[in-house]
Amino acid sequence: GNSVTQMEGPVTLSEEAFLTINCTYTATGYPSLFWYVQYPGEGLQLLLKATKADDKGSNKGFEATYRKETTSFHLEKGSVQVSDSAVYFCALLLRSGGYNKLIFGAGTRLAVHP
């Protein structure tokens, strides 16, 4: 079946540290891939996306590359800030018969300390 697997959290880092959150997927066809971020008490915000193999999505210093050969979409940031503390969700978009359906990973909580 279609699924997304993320590394378990929480991930605890000091400010300015390098961040990697691993994400791998299983899907039929060629899904689009997304990273969403959820701040406390809020809904989900789209962080970045990639629609085909080798695409690199980037936003606010975060990057992720769509790797078809390893079915991965790992999130990276070179220097995290306290304000990056949130829960990060990797997701794939299934499109079939005209409908959209996002399948999410379990989420990875990131805590950044000063």
Residue 106: CB minimum distance to other proteins, A: 5
Residue 25: CB minimum distance to other proteins, A: 15
Residue 69: CB minimum distance to other proteins, A: 20
Amino acid identity of residue 52, one-letter, is: K
Rounded Cα distance between 71 and 21, Å, is 14
Provide the 10 A C-beta neighbour count for residue 109.
Answer: 14
Using CB under 8 A, pick the residue from 3, 26, 45, 83 that binds other proteins: 45
Using CB under 8 A, pick the residue from 56, 68, 101, 113 that binds other proteins: 101
Residue 78 in contact with residue 63, Cβ under 8 Å? no
Rounded Cα distance between 67 and 47, Å, is 18
Using CB under 8 A, pick the residue from 15, 16, 42, 54 that binds other proteins: 42
